[in-house]
C-alpha cells in the first residue's frame, strides 16, 4: 500500500528585472516623439532637451538593470530590491494585507506579531492571486481591502 506523506509546499519565488519589454518600448516611443518634435515641428532644441529630462532616470534603470525578487519558503519571507530588503520569519508574521488601489494595482503589507509592518516594494509584489495562494498554503492569514481612500 502506498505511503501517505504530507505535501510539502514548494518555495514561492518571484523575479523582476528593470530591463523589460514595456520599459524599452516606452523609452523608444518617447525618443520617437522627441525626434518628431525636432523633425516635423522644428521645435526649439531647449524645449526638446527639457522634454528629454524624464528619460534620464529610465535610461539609468535600463543601464543598471537592478534585479528585484521575493522568495517565500517554509521558514521565511525574503525580498530584495534596489532600495529595500527584508528577511522575516514566517512564525513572526501575523497577517498580510493586500490592498487594491484606485489604479487597480496591488499593495502588499506584511504585519508581524510584534506590531511592526513592512510594505512590499511595488517591484517585488507578485501577482496577487499566486501570492495569496502561497500565503494560504503556509497558513498565513490574508486580508483583502479594496479601494481605500487613505
The tens digit of pLDDT for each residue in 61-85 reads 889 988 899 999 999 999 999 889 9
The answer, yes or no, to whether residue 138 has pLDDT greater than 90, is yes
Query: Who has greater pLDDT, 82 or 32?
Result: 32
pTM (two decimals): 0.73
The answer, yes or no, to whether residue 10 has pLDDT greater than 90, is no
Q: What is the mean pLDDT of the chain?
A: 90
The answer, yes or no, to whether residue 6 has pLDDT greater than 60, is no
The answer, yes or no, to whether residue 35 has pLDDT greater than 70, is yes
Residues 6 or more apart whose CB falls under 8 angstroms from that of 140 comprise 90, 93, 95, 96
Cell of 45: 532644441
**DSSP sequence for the chain:** -PPP-PPPPPPEEEEEES--HHHHHHHHHHHHHHHHHHHHH---HHHHHHHHTTHHHHHHHHHH--EEEEEE-SSEEEEE-SS-EEEEEGGGEEEEEEEE-TTS-EEEEEEETTS-EEEPPGGG---HHHHHHHHHHTT--EEEEE----
70-146: CATH class = mainly beta
The answer, yes or no, to whether residue 48 has pLDDT greater than 70, is yes
Cell of 29: 516611443
d(CA 132, CA 14): 13
The answer, yes or no, to whether residue 4 has pLDDT greater than 90, is no
Q: Read off the pLDDT band of 116 (50, 70, 90).
A: very high
Amino acid at each position: 500500500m502506498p505511503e501517505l506523506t504530507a505535501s510539502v509546499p514548494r518555495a514561492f519565488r518571484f523575479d523582476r528585472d528593470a530591463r523589460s519589454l514595456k520599459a524599452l518600448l516606452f523609452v523608444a516611443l518617447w525618443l520617437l516623439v522627441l525626434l518628431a518634435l525636432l523633425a516635423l515641428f522644428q521645435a526649439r532644441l531647449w524645449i526638446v532637451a527639457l522634454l528629454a529630462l524624464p528619460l534620464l532616470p529610465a535610461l539609468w534603470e535600463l543601464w543598471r538593470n537592478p534585479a528585484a525578487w521575493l522568495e517565500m519558503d517554509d521558514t521565511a519571507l525574503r525580498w530584495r530590491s534596489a532600495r529595500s530588503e527584508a528577511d522575516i520569519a514566517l512564525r513572526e508574521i501575523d497577517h498580510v494585507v493586500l490592498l487594491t488601489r484606485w489604479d487597480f494595482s496591488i499593495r502588499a503589507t506584511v504585519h508581524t506579531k510584534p506590531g511592526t509592518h513592512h510594505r512590499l516594494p511595488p517591484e517585488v509584489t507578485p501577482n496577487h492571486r499566486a501570492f495569496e495562494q502561497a500565503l494560504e498554503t503556509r497558513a498565513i492569514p490574508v486580508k483583502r481591502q479594496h479601494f481605500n481612500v487613505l
